[in-house]
Structure 1
Amino acid sequence: MTLTKQKIGFQHVGSFLRPNGLKQARRAYDDGFLTRKDLTEIEDEAIKDLIINQKEAGLKYVTDGEFRRSYWHLDFFWGFEGVEHIHYGEGYHFAHEETRDDTARLEGKISFNPITHPFIRDFDFVKSVTDEIGGVLPKQTIPAPSQLYIELIRGDNLQKVQEFYPDQNDLIHDIQKAYHDAIIAFYDEGARVIQLDDCSWGLFLDENFLKTDEGKAYANSGIQDTFIELNNGALQDLPEDLTINTHVCRGNYHSDFAFSGGYGPVADELFAKENVDSYFLEYDSSRAGGFEPLAKVSGDKNVVLGLITSKSGKLEDRQNIIDRIHEASQYIPLDRLWLSTQCGFASTEEGNVLSEQQQWDKLKLVKSVIDEVWK
């Protein structure tokens, strides 16, 4: 893969708070009071308004805010052939909350069909809006291949993996191919920036987990190599003008988090070996550790420092953010650094605990610091 060297441009990680009208429409659809066509029209209007607001905020790359999704990751998985939507009976356990219990489980071999996967139509709509209003470019966010892998082997889901894929190499191959086909489909529709959102590394960062027998076994399992194999395999032989970024997350649900710990335990694999153009990294609290692991970022890859939290509406001290950027530049040159929020504002449709005005104030702060630090 050839790494592009273009400037990152002012962009948000991805998700935005869903407007109340959109939330009400989704509930009405679930309850049978709205047709799919009615809901799509309401989603289209909300997304068009969001894109216009992103342009007015100065963003260069815009998303649909993930307004059509319930989850940042599961909706994409459910679009693959061979993957079904079930209720697991238990949600993901965050520091203070448990999520809803949806999951993705195999019901056959995995493949990508551009006709049936809804995200292609969703991107087409975003592209049509950006073409219409001009001055902004569309960005597509999807969960990383490694994220699908760990969902499929989660607990009882593993039984279905063993049924359809007795040889793990076949599973890895099909995930890689499904993702590669999806990325090419987005590219053919005009996508030039695609972001892989990835929480799969989080357990390696959590010191409390790594101290347990289960954590020690996980850390020594070789699964980091599997993550790199999955992600890099999906990214082989892509067009040179396609930018692939990744956002490494510690969990973002209703302003709660799932993991704590610095990037040191994954730096040798993730930072040195993953074939992406830029890393969007969470650095909004002491839970993220120091900047020292950034020295392991290989080649000319960029790092986008997520120094602005999306988990609360309180604005950070501007000078402190600027000071931390310069602190990070001790480990990676300033011209390969950039700034963003640490995550989206609504990785699930529940959203984080802040107001819509506060989310725009956060982005205003991000832009003003970018303008000052990088002129």
Structure 2
Amino acid sequence: MDMTNLHYDIVGSFLRPTSLKAARADFAAGKVSLYELREVENREIADLVEKEISAGLKVVTDGEFRRSYWHLDTFWGFDGIAHTTQKQGYLFHDEETRKDSAQINGKIRFAGDHPDLEAFKFLRNLTKGKGVTPRQSIPAPAQCYAELVRGEENIAAVQKYYSSEEELLTDLAQAYHDLILALYDVGCRDVKLDDCTWGMVVDDDFWATMVKQGFKREDLEEKYLQVNNAALQDLPADLRISTHICRGNYHSTWAAKGGYAPVADYVFAKENVAAFYLEFDDERSGGFEPLAKVPADKEVVLGLVTSKKPELEKEADLQARIKQASQYHDLDHLALSTQCGFASTEEGNQLTETQEWAKINLVEKTAKDIWK
């Protein structure tokens, strides 16, 4: 699906229905079987897809209803990566997340089966003959690398199995490349890489601390770009690869702040994707000037409508901001979406399902009014 013709989109995750949350809690407590949990997931995903189609969306997702996290579940699906917990979760602006992590316990590889692959097959079957494109979102390779070196215990695990970071990055990129090709082989033509690593890199306060520990911003940017692009080499021409970049989205709070200028020369100018889905819903995101670094033939999907708050934006304000953005990237290659999904983790953001769909309807209406 060419978003330059459509000009509106979603990022992917939806608020989890009450019945799904209850089923996951019951499964964790041993009250229902995995089969019974899957039946609830299947039913709720089928219902969501029908809602997406009825709402006029042309690219649809499964709402990430099978996941606990937007990123960790994918990591755990690779051989050589284990589900672990740490002493501390991710620190957001005013909240700490659950403490789950991913840690190396062998050489990383895609073994031929993966939960994201099975999830996509179900979504594909739901959308056959419906005139829509099923999309699979996965966390970026850079995001996986960042998790594998988060904290002393994870770093020690890396050093146990890998003699160099170069070897680690090579295996990680290959595992991702193999997963993407497996998705393609079962019919996927739209893969989005969700990536918060760049959102952390732009935060000057975060980097003031990192510099004291001996890190260099440019070194990390090179590493993130290297592993992402290595995973995206030699893919089929009819596979649309995009990336979504934000600064954290957990229970309506955020993790980082700062404009895109510090990373524009890397990710905007050089990452081998067709489109960038970018967070621009408040002042933490900075201005539109860095969009000038995006190649003219690539799409920029402006995340101007917040998924964090229930209040509905005004269309006139959105139109004005899109006009501002068009000073730095051609209007024909712009599109509109929410700044992130509505439930990056199963907790979800603090708004109702009705408010969620009102946001999506506003995105569609605004896009149709601008790009008639």
Report the TM-score, using the length of structure 2 for normalisation: 0.97
Equivalenced residue count is: 370
Instruction: Give the structure 1 partner of residue 107 of structure 2.
Output: 109
Alignment partner for residue 343 of structure 2, among 343, 346, 350?
A: 346
Shift of 1:208: 1.9
Alignment of 1:204-223 (within 5 A): 204-212=201-209, 214=211, 217-220=214-217, 222-223=219-220
Shift of 1:137: 1.6
Alignment partner for residue 79 of structure 2, among 78, 81, 95?
A: 81
Q: Which amino acid aligns with 1:240?
A: A
List per-residue Cα deviations over 1:213-239 (Å, max 9, x = no partner).
636843446010010100000000000
Rounded Cα–Cα distance in structure 2 between residues aligned with 1:170 and 1:38: 41
Which sections of structure 2, spanning at least 5 residues, go unmatched? none
Asked if structure 2 preserves the Cα contact closer than 8 Å seen for 1:114 and 1:120, the reply is no
Rounded Cα–Cα distance in structure 2 between residues aligned with 1:38 and 1:220: 47
Instruction: Give the structure 1 partner of residue 166 of structure 2.
Output: 169
RMSD: 1.4
List per-residue Cα deviations over 1:155-214 (Å, max 9, x = no partner).
120101111111111111101110000000100111111000000112221122233463
Alignment partner for residue 62 of structure 2, among 50, 53, 64?
A: 64
Shift of 1:135: 2.4
1:320 and 1:6, CA in 2 relative to 1: closer, same or farther beyond 3 A? closer
Q: SS of 2:329's equivalent?
A: coil
Q: SS of 1:110's equivalent?
A: strand
Shift of 1:372: 0.8
Rounded Cα–Cα distance in structure 1 between residues aligned with 2:43 and 2:306: 28
Alignment partner for residue 153 of structure 1, among 145, 149, 154?
A: 149
1:213 and 1:278, CA in 2 relative to 1: closer, same or farther beyond 3 A? closer
Q: Which amino acid aligns with 1:92?
A: Y
Rounded Cα–Cα distance in structure 2 between residues aligned with 1:206 and 1:89: 24
Q: Which amino acid aligns with 2:132?
A: V
List per-residue Cα deviations over 1:55-108 (Å, max 9, x = no partner).
011100100000000000000000000110011121000000000000000010
Asked if structure 1 preserves the Cα contact closer than 8 Å seen for 2:9 and 2:335, the reply is no
Shift of 1:335: 0.5
Rounded Cα–Cα distance in structure 2 between residues aligned with 1:220 and 1:89: 26
Q: SS of 1:312's equivalent?
A: coil
Which sections of structure 1, spanning at least 5 residues, go unmatched? none
Asked if structure 2 preserves the Cα contact closer than 8 Å seen for 1:283 and 1:305, the reply is yes
Shift of 1:353: 0.2
Asked if structure 2 preserves the Cα contact closer than 8 Å seen for 1:204 and 1:219, the reply is no
Alignment partner for residue 333 of structure 1, among 330, 335, 351?
A: 330
Shift of 1:287: 0.6
Rounded Cα–Cα distance in structure 2 between residues aligned with 1:81 and 1:8: 38
Asked if structure 2 preserves the Cα contact closer than 8 Å seen for 1:84 and 1:104, the reply is yes
Alignment of 1:192-271 (within 5 A): 192-212=189-209, 214=211, 217-220=214-217, 222-271=219-268
Instruction: Give the structure 1 partner of residue 178 of structure 2.
Output: 181
Rounded Cα–Cα distance in structure 2 between residues aligned with 1:118 and 1:43: 13
Q: Which amino acid aligns with 2:54?
A: E
Instruction: Give the structure 2 partner of residue 98 of structure 1.
Output: 96
Alignment partner for residue 40 of structure 1, among 23, 38, 41?
A: 38
Asked if structure 2 preserves the Cα contact closer than 8 Å seen for 1:209 and 1:215, the reply is no
Instruction: Give the structure 1 partner of residue 291 of structure 2.
Output: 294
Displaced runs of 4 or more, over 6 A? none
Report the TM-score, using the length of structure 1 for normalisation: 0.96
Instruction: Give the structure 2 partner of residue 373 of structure 1.
Output: 370
Asked if structure 2 preserves the Cα contact closer than 8 Å seen for 1:10 and 1:58, the reply is no
Q: SS of 2:363's equivalent?
A: helix
1:17 and 1:185, CA in 2 relative to 1: closer, same or farther beyond 3 A? same
Asked if structure 1 preserves the Cα contact closer than 8 Å seen for 2:4 and 2:335, the reply is no
Q: Which amino acid aligns with 2:146?
A: I
Q: Which amino acid aligns with 2:346?
A: E
List per-residue Cα deviations over 1:133-167 (Å, max 9, x = no partner).
x1222000000000000000111201011111111
Asked if structure 2 preserves the Cα contact closer than 8 Å seen for 1:147 and 1:199, the reply is yes
Asked if structure 1 preserves the Cα contact closer than 8 Å seen for 2:248 and 2:255, the reply is yes
Asked if structure 1 preserves the Cα contact closer than 8 Å seen for 2:201 and 2:217, the reply is no
Q: SS of 2:20's equivalent?
A: helix
Rounded Cα–Cα distance in structure 2 between residues aligned with 1:213 and 1:175: 24
Q: Which amino acid aligns with 2:322?
A: I
Rounded Cα–Cα distance in structure 2 between residues aligned with 1:189 and 1:322: 39
Instruction: Give the structure 1 partner of residue 125 of structure 2.
Output: 128
Q: Which amino acid aligns with 1:142?
A: I
Alignment partner for residue 358 of structure 2, among 334, 358, 361?
A: 361
1:126 and 1:5, CA in 2 relative to 1: closer, same or farther beyond 3 A? closer
